[in-house]
């Protein structure tokens, strides 16, 4: 957790609330509120914002050197605590699926490495069954998985991830703004391999629809290329698709809105390595901030 003094000093050093928020992986509103709270706590205005950028007030100029000393002291204290806690040179082993490894976890790793540069991460990609087994047998410390398949594992809810229909841009169904599972069942379907627990299969079963899957592929990127080549249509997760260049494809909502609830899971918090505990806490505090 970054202190209010460190946030204030960062705003002055970077000359921007936006840059500070980006650097600290905070929202801009959170940074602004922190500065506001600090000014209210002290009882004076510390900085002003105008056309010429951010400037310290007279009181801000007086207090800024003391804030800098506090921040330096905090850094030294954090360093000493990390030495005592043994986070230096620790290893965090995480099992994860493609969409979470590409779009969700990386900012958290970056932020964690900024505070603990000597901590190493090992990411092991898999599907729900493998992830569960790796957590149970202690091959990994933390796992991103589907809430329905955690068994007796302990977990923390992170986000919901919907399936979307992905089609060639000239496919007849691409003319629709929303596509039903019944419509998709009439196409050449490419199934995303999720192991023993497939949300796609479950969604069709729930609607009493029996589709024919022409292909079953584990890699999301291979599926995208197959769609581009006109080999079929697929159902892929929103979190995987977000941020990709998909101008040559059609991405449509599915009427029944099949989704998974993604959780961060572990076997036993009491025996979880300290570094993994801290990483899990960082994710949880950010998600629920």
Tens of pLDDT, residues 276-287: 999 999 999 888
DSSP 132: H
% pLDDT > 70, the chain: 98
Q: For residue 129, what is the domain's CATH number?
A: 3.40.190.10
Whether residue 140 is found in the same domain as residue 214: no
pLDDT for res 282 = 92
Residues 177 and 257 in one domain: yes
Please indicate, yes or no, whether residues 277 and 143 belong to a single structural domain of this protein: yes
| 57, 134: one domain | no
* 151 & 170 share domain: no
Q: Of the candidates 84, 106, 138, which is a domain's last residue?
A: 84
Which of 179, 239, 249 lies closest to 211 in space, CA to CA? 179
Average confidence score pLDDT of the chain: 91
Q: What is the mean pLDDT of residues 68-73?
A: 92
Q: Which of 20, 52, 84 is the last residue of a domain?
A: 84
- Do 128 and 79 share a structural domain? no
Given this model, what pLDDT does residue 86 score? 67
| CATH code for position 47 | 1.10.10.10
pLDDT at 154 over 90: yes
Count CB neighbours of 42 within 10 A: 12
Q: What is the structure's pLDDT at 274? A: 86
Is residue 123 within 8 A of residue 101, CB to CB? The reply is yes
Given a cut of 70, is residue 289 above it in pLDDT? no
114 shares a domain with 246: no
pLDDT of residue 178: 95
Report the number of distinct structural domains present in the chain.
3
Q: Say yes or no: 148 and 236 in one domain.
A: no
Kindly state whether residues 231 and 272 are assigned to the same domain.
no
- Residue 51 has a pLDDT of 80
pLDDT at 254: 97
Average pLDDT score over residue span 262-289: 90
The verdict on 195 and 114 lying in the same domain is no
For residues 119 and 248, state if they share a domain: no
Same domain for 177 and 201, yes or no, is yes
Q: What is the pLDDT of residues 171-223, one digit of tens each?
A: 999 999 999 999 999 999 999 998 888 999 999 999 999 999 999 998 999 99
- pTM comes to 0.67
pLDDT single digits (tens) 35-55: 999 999 999 999 998 888 899
Task: Provide the pLDDT for residue 162.
Answer: 95
For the stretch 212-255, pLDDT in tens is 999 999 899 999 999 999 999 999 999 899 888 898 999 999 99
Instruction: Choose among 266, 261, 260, 271: nearest CA to 154.
Output: 266
* Pairwise CA distance, residues 10 & 17, whole Å: 9
Look up the domain containing 9 and give its range: 4-84
pLDDT score for 45: 94
How large is the C-alpha radius of gyration of the chain? 24
Q: DSSP letter at 206?
A: H
pLDDT tens digits, 114-129: 888 889 999 999 888 9
């Amino acid at each position: 957790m970054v202190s209010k003094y460190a946030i204030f000093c960062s705003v002055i050093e970077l000359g921007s609330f936006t840059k500070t928020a980006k650097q600290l992986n905070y929202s801009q509103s959170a940074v602004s509120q922190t500065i506001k709270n600090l000014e209210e706590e002290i009882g004076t205005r510390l900085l002003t914002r105008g056309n010429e950028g951010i400037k310290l007030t007279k009181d801000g100029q007086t207090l800024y050197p003391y804030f800098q000393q506090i921040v330096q002291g905090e850094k030294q204290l954090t360093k000493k605590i990390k030495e005592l806690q043994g986070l230096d040179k620790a290893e965090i082993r995480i099992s994860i699926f493609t969409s979470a490894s590409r779009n969700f976890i990386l900012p958290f790793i970056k932020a964690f490495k900024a505070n603990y540069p000597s901590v190493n991460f090992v990411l092991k990609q898999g599907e729900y069954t493998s992830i569960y087994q790796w957590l149970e047998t202690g091959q990994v410390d933390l796992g991103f998985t589907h809430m329905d398949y955690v068994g007796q594992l302990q977990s923390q809810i992170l986000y919901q991830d919907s399936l979307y229909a992905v089609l060639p841009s000239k496919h007849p169904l691409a003319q629709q703004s929303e596509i039903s599972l019944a419509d998709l069942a009439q196409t050449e379907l490419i199934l995303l391999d999720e192991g023993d627990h497939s949300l796609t299969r479950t969604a069709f079963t729930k609607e009493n629809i029996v589709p024919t899957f022409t292909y079953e592929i584990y890699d999301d990127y291979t599926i995208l290329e197959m769609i581009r080549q006109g080999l079929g249509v697929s159902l892929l997760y929103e979190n995987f698709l977000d941020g990709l260049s998909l101008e040559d494809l059609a991405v449509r909502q599915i009427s029944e809105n099949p989704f998974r609830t993604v959780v961060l899971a572990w076997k036993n918090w009491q025996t979880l390595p300290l570094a993994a505990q801290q990483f899990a806490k960082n994710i949880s505090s950010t998600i629920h901030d």
